[in-house]
Amino acid sequence: MEYILIIGAKSELAKSIADIYASKGYSLYLSGRDIHSLSKFSDTLTSNYDVNVKLINLDLNSYDTHEAFVKELEVLPVGIVSATGYYPNQLKAQIDNDDMLNSITSNFTGPVSLINYLVEEMKRIKKGFIIGISSVSGERGRKKNYIYGSAKSGFTTFLSGLRNELFDYNIHVMTVILGFIRDGSETNSIKKMLSAKPREIAELIVSNQIKCRNIVYLKWYWRYIMFIIKNIPEFIFKRIDIK
């Protein structure tokens, strides 16, 4: 039975991805902090789809545990989904180093560290896939979230290089550039119009992975929005306030 590892499995998006892969017959490793809070969800997946679901606590801040985490997996996963992330308050993160470092670790260095150990094992079997969920915030720095954005930018670049490296190993790497996810608290009409439900995004992620897409903007219109934003001349861009 083939396993998929989901890093940061507690969000609604990650749970939807887990549900879809379980429905396709994959067993799952669900990882994250206090992951045993997902025990009911795990039981539901097992009951609905007759697959194995293992909950594994993971602290991305504890880099010295990452190698052991990989070695203790009973079966090497054929797929990895990095859905972890932390969106800090920008003003707080500018003066609170702990908050800043937490964002950088959750969005960039933590998943990079863990994926690096996993990749070395996957190279031996020469098959599998990696999905990294990044963000439109990493496409160009804005004053409202440039600490978060810079971490996501680093993760996007990491995935690009990894895709290049792993091509010869028959391991596919897909970068998801994610826009707004609807959580029911949207008050801004534009943000509400551009947002999508977690389940909808999850279905698009899985379908694009099956098609072996390389870089996917979700939803599709973000590719064109970010093309415009990235091509605004810097002398103009630095003067505007993009929410």
- Are 20 and 96 in contact, with CB atoms under 8 Å apart? no
- Beta-carbon neighbour count of residue 236 at 10 Å? 8
140: tokens are 């160009």
90: tokens are 């920008």
- What is the rounded distance in angstroms from the CA atom of residue 151 to the CA atom of residue 146? 8
Fold of the CATH domain 3-237 = Rossmann fold (3.40.50)
Helix (H, G, I), strand (E, B) or coil at 198: helix
Residue 241 confidence (pLDDT): 86
- Which residues are within 8 A (CB) of 51 and not within 5 positions of it... i.e. 6 or more apart? 1, 22, 25, 26, 27, 28, 45
- What is the rounded distance in angstroms from the CA atom of residue 191 to the CA atom of residue 181? 9
Whole-structure pTM value = 0.95
Residue 184 confidence (pLDDT): 67
Residue 188 confidence (pLDDT): 67
Residue 204, amino acid:
L
For the chain (length 243 residues), average pLDDT per consecutive 10? 96 98 98 96 98 97 97 96 95 96 97 98 96 97 96 98 98 97 72 90 98 97 96 95 78
Strand boundaries in the chain, DSSP class E: 3-7, 27-32, 53-57, 79-82, 128-135, 171-178, 215-218
